[in-house]
Structure 1
Amino acid sequence: MCGIAGIFHPETPKPVDPSRVAAMIAAQAHRGPDGEGVWTAPGVGLGHRRLSIIDLEGSPQPMRSGALAVTYNGEIYNFAELRADLIRRGAVFVTEGDTEVLLHGWRAWGPSLLERLNGMFAFALHDADTGTLFLARDRMGVKPLHYVELSDGSLAFASELKGLLAHPLLRRVPDVTAIEDFLALGYVPDDACMIAGVRKLPAGHFLQVQRWQGVPRPRRWWSLSFADRATGSAKALGEQLLGHMRDGVRSRMVADVPLGAFLSGGVDSSAVVALMAEASKAAVRTCTIGFDEAGHDERDHAAAVARRFATDHHAQVVRPDDAALIDTLVHHFDEPFADASALATYQVAALARSRVTVALSGDGADEMLAGYRRYRFQAAEERVRGLMPARWRRAGFGTLGRLYPKADWAPRPLRAKTTLLALAADGDEAYARAVGVTTPEQRARLLSPAARHALGGHRAEDRYIAAMRAAPARDALDRAQYADMMIWLPGDILTKVDRTSMAVGLEAREPLLDHRLVEFCATLPVAMRLHGGEGKWLMKRSLERYLPRDILYRPKMGFVTPISAWFRNALADEAEGLARSRILVESGWLDMAEVARIAADHRSGRADHGRTLWQLMMLERSARRLFG
């Protein structure tokens, strides 16, 4: 796992200043504590920070072979098979790692090399013979890649935004559409950036820049389809599912450094540990963090799984209210990021790094097998929508929803307003709202008139609606999962894991996002993903031979951060100070009177605005770093 950066002149091969590339990779030193390298040639410069995982003494980067040079972040899990194939074709290797496979693979197959790779990666390859810079990102978007066209005509790229910020020609102008997106979703999605002009290469895309031909649009090289359906019994499909899970886990256990796993005691991480134990001759190293908070501590469940598979287990109790980490997160995420579970994710990554260099996680199963509660709600609401004409539904449920009081304080069954309004809306609109943190109406009150005008009609939910309508899918659940795989997974989940693990020099691997497994899950009948209100149904049924029922079928917990309580205690002054923040006042983005009202109502207990205040605080602190 590493950090990469570089500069390319598309129009003319002007010299690249090595010190600029060095500054860009120095800003990302946390991603690669084991080594660094800079290489320049006419019109191009590549930089690299290395976290050594395979071929520890060899494989320095940027790596060259004839006219080719590459800087690469990630792991190619099938590199041994590709290497053997390339050797049969006449390639001569001088290293033992996976990086050199990219060079010989490009020479043999060109861009179609990507289709042969099983892994997580972002890389930049320069071909001097053709004057080409080739940027590529893995299918799911596990590894990040940012790029920007600068005023001197150059194209600069880096793993993290802070790498680009180290370039003196990058103008730090805010993009108000990214602020709308962040307030809506709690993160800045992959098709947006807080810095105007900066782009993120989308997951499953490449950018091929040919000298003297300008910078084209990225091209998609992989896509996910829910259009086909697998046939067979639950037992047969369950065996196929387990087979793909085993392959995903075993392929990610190859490393020349200590390897372990995150173990929360939930289904996904427990499944990964079970399959690791099955494949390993030595005890699997596992780590868990716990909280001294009833109802949110999973240490007992994790310990039960650890005993079952005789793992080398380590648990640690952490404070869920460690507000001192907020500035650490702001630094590592660059853009505002309001998923409060990032605090706990950082803590478990730091714990894992004290014992291993690589850790396997259970991320991805909820998206690919309908594990989130919102999928259950979406499926139920779609059944109701199908029972009556849209005109009647909009009139009836819409009227009831508008009249029903908003009751965030009430038990969940009595909070009907959101459900009634969702039933009045079309399915894609309702789901787009369901995944958000704030509604369009809330943002209309929170954003200033000038900011609303600058948006020019841009609305964060529209990307979800467009993705669902364009989804290669058969069912409403397919469409919701497809949109989450395209937007939520790379924008929130994988960004969170990448930034928090890289912050401590840990490589996190996601075996349940092996593309063969993901493609198979997309073909499963809806009833095998969501059955009787149970998400991940086929996965849980198939794992009954490995895990006890109280692990498989207990309610989902997840990491909990008591942000609402913080803003009435430790962070109360911070909440009130938001309305007086110099960076927010001068930006003109927000209606500061509305910010003051939200803070006052929350502190008094009249309303619970904890999540909104957390968003505003993360926006304010990130804006200070980016523009202050």
Structure 2
Amino acid sequence: MCGVVAWVKATTDGKVDESTLRSMTATLHHRGPDGEGFYIDGNVGLGHKRLSILDVENGKQPLQSDGVVLSYNGEIYNFKQLKCELEALGHVFASHCDSEVLLFAWKEWGASVVHKLRGMFAFVIYDKPQNSLFVARDRLGIKPLHWAKTSQGDLLFASELKAINAHPDIEKQLNPYAIEDFFSLGYVADPKTIFKDVFKLPPAHVISIDLSDPTRDVTPECYWEIENFVSDEITREQDIGEDFARLTEEAITLRMVADVPLGSFLSGGIDSSVISAVMQKHSQVPINTFSIGFDLSKYDESFYAKQLATQLGFKHLNTSVSINDLTFMEKLVDIYDEPFADNSAIPTFILSGVAAQHVKVALSGDGADELLYGYRNHKMLWVEEKIRKCLPDGVRRKMFGILAKLYPNFKTAPKFLRGKTTLNALSGSAISSYHNAISISHQNDLARLYSPQLKAQLNGYSSLSMFDDIGKKCKSNNSLKAIQLIDFKTYLAGGILTKVDRASMKNSLEVRVPYLDHHLVERTLAVSPSLNLSWSQTKRLLVNGFKHLLPSFVTKRNKMGFSSPIDEWLRQIPKESLNTKLSEGALAQTGLFSLEGISSLLDEHHERGHEHGMTIWSLLIFNAFLEKHFGTQKSENIVSP
């Protein structure tokens, strides 16, 4: 893995300042501590930080050949096949690394090269003979890439926001829509960032720039549309089972290619267990596995990881996280550059740090839940949809709407008595129900948290409208397939993959995600949800495909999920301390939030009337973010209309 920086001056006679380019690139040292490089040609500059994984002695970047220059972050898993193809076309290679293959592939095929790549990548290519710049991000958004246009009209590209913010001409103003994304979802969805005029290049998009055009516009273009693969046309397991198992094993073994030590994150759940078992099957020595536990036992599944490691002969290491690690909050703000509320980022960061002491590459099970309907909310939606289909829409909406109003709001009752939320869900659409289920803060809570000023800035926008827009692009009439598309377009790229990339790369660890191999994804997205979901089981394709490699205590146990016990952790902190931090810190000074609303949420949470842990956590994260970037500036100075 590496860090990428590119800078194009607004005018053709401009000159990239080397000192500034070096400063921007230096912010990405953690992404590539093994080396750095720079290239400047008048108004174009490229910077690079390298983490050596393949052909450690060679592959230094920016890489040049006949006036074509590459700065690249990622791994191309089919680079050996591409190399053979390019050699047959007359190209002569000087190294064994995938970066040189990518450079020559561009020279041979130009912009269509992205269709040939199997892997994770974000790269910038300066083609001097063509006087052009080409920028690309992988299909699923595994590797990040940000871009911005400065107040002077210069174009900036970088792996992380911190590199762009290091440029002196970047004006940091908050995007109110991004604030709503964060407080409802816990992350800022692509292509937005927390800053109004800085953007994420969406997954499966490229940017092509003609450097001879001084009025050039920046328009990201999609080269792979995931909507084309989302369907429910495969309804029988015999039509997909063998293909799924073969493609999954192939994806795992492809990601075992490295010239440095590698291992696997092992939670004890089915996703990581399959990866670890397949790795062991193809390894001559015990593989390295790493897990993390929690100080509250009901959240801790590390026991199962240890048990599996012992049974299958892994070289296993376990660590733990506790309440004391809430001190990582300020570090999280530094790692993620924008507000990011997924509290499992803390154990992910700690686990990555432990793994990085032993290996340089780790495989992870991320993406399997989105691909195979593995989340608890998927199961709930599946049940709700069965009920919805029993009644005409008009009757259903009216009947369940009335029942929801009449049903008591038993927030502290056992879960089986908390029917009000379910009744409300059944009275609405599948997408609105799902949005409500996965939101970290209920819309009613946000209504009392947001100040009138912030509500005016939002002008009616909510993250639900984004979900609805994506859902309309689904070509299947099955609501569960629309939810799957929404997951891939929002939570996967903006939440899961962002969490893992920043937490691992801060520790100079490369994480590979086999379940997001696009060959496997394209084939599996055509599967009917019924092949993975049932009353007693989820991820049936994965379980049935690999149960011969795993003990029954893995294949038959229920999913726990990788999360932190944030509700209980926050109750261990005195309410007065939290209230002081939020009512006297930077967040209070902006005028974006109601202090009365914050105080009432804290009261309800500590009195155990409601579970507001994630909302309080997001407020703390946002306060820390504001303090780092803006101090105590008023909102009119930091929020853009």
Q: TM-score, normalised by structure 2?
A: 0.95
| Paired residues of 2:156 and 2:164 also in contact (CA < 8 A) | yes
Q: Which residues of 2 match residues 467-506 of structure 1 at below 5 A? A: 467-506=470-509
Q: In structure 1, which of residues 544, 547, 558 is the aligned counterpart of residue 547 of structure 2?
A: 544
What residue number does 1:570 align with? 573
What residue number does 1:217 align with? 219
Superposed displacement of residue 38, structure 1: 1.4
Q: What is the CA–CA distance in structure 2 between the aligned matches of 1:569 and 1:435, rounded to whole Å? A: 25
Q: What is the CA–CA distance in structure 1 between the aligned matches of 2:221 and 2:536, rounded to whole Å? A: 38
After superposition, the Cα gap between the structure-2 partners of 1:163 and 1:240, relative to the gap in structure 1 and judged at 3 Å, is same
Larger displacement relative to structure 2 (607-616 or 357-366)? 607-616
Q: What is the CA–CA distance in structure 2 between the aligned matches of 1:210 and 1:441, rounded to whole Å? A: 48
Where do 5+ consecutive residues of structure 1 fail to align? none
Q: What is the CA–CA distance in structure 2 between the aligned matches of 1:362 and 1:618, rounded to whole Å? A: 27
After superposition, the Cα gap between the structure-2 partners of 1:574 and 1:6, relative to the gap in structure 1 and judged at 3 Å, is farther
Superposed displacement of residue 273, structure 1: 0.6
Q: Which residues of 2 match residues 403-414 of structure 1 at below 5 A? A: 403-414=406-417
Q: Does 1:373 align with 2:376?
A: yes
SS of residue in 1 equivalent to 2:297: coil
What residue number does 1:329 align with? 332
| Paired residues of 2:323 and 2:569 also in contact (CA < 8 A) | no
Q: Does 1:31 align with 2:31?
A: yes
Q: What is the CA–CA distance in structure 2 between the aligned matches of 1:433 and 1:295, rounded to whole Å? A: 25
What residue number does 1:615 align with? 618
After superposition, the Cα gap between the structure-2 partners of 1:578 and 1:192, relative to the gap in structure 1 and judged at 3 Å, is farther
SS of residue in 1 equivalent to 2:121: strand
Q: How many residues align?
A: 628
Q: Does 1:529 align with 2:538?
A: no
After superposition, the Cα gap between the structure-2 partners of 1:149 and 1:342, relative to the gap in structure 1 and judged at 3 Å, is same
Superposed displacement of residue 261, structure 1: 0.6
Q: Does 1:196 align with 2:196?
A: yes
Q: Does 1:443 align with 2:446?
A: yes
SS of residue in 2 equivalent to 1:534: coil
SS of residue in 1 equivalent to 2:629: helix
Superposed displacement of residue 377, structure 1: 1.4
Q: What is the CA–CA distance in structure 1 between the aligned matches of 2:132 and 2:247, rounded to whole Å? A: 36
What residue number does 1:86 align with? 86
Superposed displacement of residue 233, structure 1: 5.1
Q: In structure 1, which of residues 425, 430, 445 is the aligned counterpart of residue 428 of structure 2?
A: 425
What residue number does 1:46 align with? 46
Q: What is the CA–CA distance in structure 1 between the aligned matches of 2:209 and 2:13, rounded to whole Å? A: 13
SS of residue in 1 equivalent to 2:303: helix
Q: What is the CA–CA distance in structure 1 between the aligned matches of 2:94 and 2:307, rounded to whole Å? A: 46
Q: What is the CA–CA distance in structure 2 between the aligned matches of 1:357 and 1:300, rounded to whole Å? A: 25
Q: What is the CA–CA distance in structure 2 between the aligned matches of 1:365 and 1:267, rounded to whole Å? A: 9
> What are the Cα deviations for residues 11-54 of structure 1, in whole angstroms up to 9, with x where unaligned?
52411001111111111111111111111102110111111101
Superposed displacement of residue 425, structure 1: 0.7
What residue number does 1:286 align with? 289
AA partner of residue 225 (structure 2) = S
Where do 5+ consecutive residues of structure 2 fail to align? 632-641
Superposed displacement of residue 588, structure 1: 1.9
Q: CA RMSD in A?
A: 1.7
What residue number does 1:180 align with? 180
After superposition, the Cα gap between the structure-2 partners of 1:446 and 1:479, relative to the gap in structure 1 and judged at 3 Å, is same
Q: What is the CA–CA distance in structure 1 between the aligned matches of 2:257 and 2:405, rounded to whole Å? A: 56
| Paired residues of 1:175 and 1:196 also in contact (CA < 8 A) | yes
Superposed displacement of residue 296, structure 1: 2.7
Q: What is the CA–CA distance in structure 1 between the aligned matches of 2:48 and 2:525, rounded to whole Å? A: 36
AA partner of residue 323 (structure 1) = L
AA partner of residue 437 (structure 2) = A
Q: What is the CA–CA distance in structure 2 between the aligned matches of 1:544 and 1:140, rounded to whole Å? A: 28
Q: What is the CA–CA distance in structure 2 between the aligned matches of 1:60 and 1:299, rounded to whole Å? A: 39
Question: Identity of counterpart residues, as a percentage?
Answer: 38
What residue number does 1:122 align with? 122
What residue number does 1:171 align with? 171
Q: What is the CA–CA distance in structure 1 between the aligned matches of 2:443 and 2:299, rounded to whole Å? A: 31
Q: Does 1:454 align with 2:457?
A: yes
| Paired residues of 1:334 and 1:626 also in contact (CA < 8 A) | no
Q: What is the CA–CA distance in structure 2 between the aligned matches of 1:372 and 1:604, rounded to whole Å? A: 29
SS of residue in 1 equivalent to 2:472: helix
Q: In structure 2, which of residues 581, 586, 591 is the aligned counterpart of residue 583 of structure 1?
A: 586
Q: What is the CA–CA distance in structure 1 between the aligned matches of 2:446 and 2:621, rounded to whole Å? A: 16
AA partner of residue 560 (structure 2) = M
Superposed displacement of residue 9, structure 1: 2.7
Q: What is the CA–CA distance in structure 1 between the aligned matches of 2:410 and 2:21, rounded to whole Å? A: 54
Q: What is the CA–CA distance in structure 1 between the aligned matches of 2:292 and 2:144, rounded to whole Å? A: 27
| Paired residues of 1:31 and 1:51 also in contact (CA < 8 A) | yes
| Paired residues of 2:381 and 2:480 also in contact (CA < 8 A) | yes
AA partner of residue 352 (structure 2) = A
Q: What is the CA–CA distance in structure 2 between the aligned matches of 1:233 and 1:582, rounded to whole Å? A: 57
What residue number does 1:354 align with? 357
Superposed displacement of residue 134, structure 1: 0.9
| Paired residues of 2:263 and 2:359 also in contact (CA < 8 A) | yes
Larger displacement relative to structure 2 (88-97 or 605-614)? 605-614
SS of residue in 1 equivalent to 2:147: strand
What residue number does 1:234 align with? 237
> What are the Cα deviations for residues 375-412 of structure 1, in whole angstroms up to 9, with x where unaligned?
11112212222222222222221122133233221111
What residue number does 2:343 align with? 340
SS of residue in 2 equivalent to 1:470: coil
AA partner of residue 438 (structure 1) = S
Superposed displacement of residue 602, structure 1: 2.3
What residue number does 2:74 align with? 74
| Paired residues of 1:18 and 1:39 also in contact (CA < 8 A) | no
Q: What is the CA–CA distance in structure 1 between the aligned matches of 2:247 and 2:450, rounded to whole Å? A: 46
After superposition, the Cα gap between the structure-2 partners of 1:569 and 1:205, relative to the gap in structure 1 and judged at 3 Å, is same
> What are the Cα deviations for residues 330-358 of structure 1, in whole angstroms up to 9, with x where unaligned?
11011111111111111111111111000
SS of residue in 1 equivalent to 2:156: strand
SS of residue in 1 equivalent to 2:571: coil
Q: TM-score, normalised by structure 1?
A: 0.97
After superposition, the Cα gap between the structure-2 partners of 1:502 and 1:625, relative to the gap in structure 1 and judged at 3 Å, is same
Larger displacement relative to structure 2 (429-438 or 16-25)? 429-438
Q: What is the CA–CA distance in structure 2 between the aligned matches of 1:231 and 1:489, rounded to whole Å? A: 23
SS of residue in 1 equivalent to 2:505: helix
After superposition, the Cα gap between the structure-2 partners of 1:13 and 1:429, relative to the gap in structure 1 and judged at 3 Å, is farther
AA partner of residue 218 (structure 2) = P
Q: Which residues of 2 match residues 247-258 of structure 1 at below 5 A? A: 247-258=250-261
AA partner of residue 330 (structure 1) = V
AA partner of residue 44 (structure 1) = V
SS of residue in 2 equivalent to 1:133: strand
| Paired residues of 1:320 and 1:560 also in contact (CA < 8 A) | no
After superposition, the Cα gap between the structure-2 partners of 1:433 and 1:601, relative to the gap in structure 1 and judged at 3 Å, is closer
What residue number does 1:106 align with? 106
After the TM superposition, list the runs of 4 or more consecutive aligned residues in structure 1 that deviate by more than 6 angstroms.
Answer: none
Larger displacement relative to structure 2 (282-291 or 142-151)? 282-291
Q: What is the CA–CA distance in structure 2 between the aligned matches of 1:293 and 1:563, rounded to whole Å? A: 10
AA partner of residue 260 (structure 1) = G
> What are the Cα deviations for residues 241-298 of structure 1, in whole angstroms up to 9, with x where unaligned?
1100111011100111101111111100000011111111222111122234323332
Q: What is the CA–CA distance in structure 2 between the aligned matches of 1:519 and 1:324, rounded to whole Å? A: 41
| Paired residues of 2:145 and 2:200 also in contact (CA < 8 A) | yes
Q: What is the CA–CA distance in structure 2 between the aligned matches of 1:298 and 1:27, rounded to whole Å? A: 36
What residue number does 2:307 align with? 304
| Paired residues of 1:250 and 1:276 also in contact (CA < 8 A) | yes
What residue number does 2:636 align with? none
Superposed displacement of residue 575, structure 1: 1.7
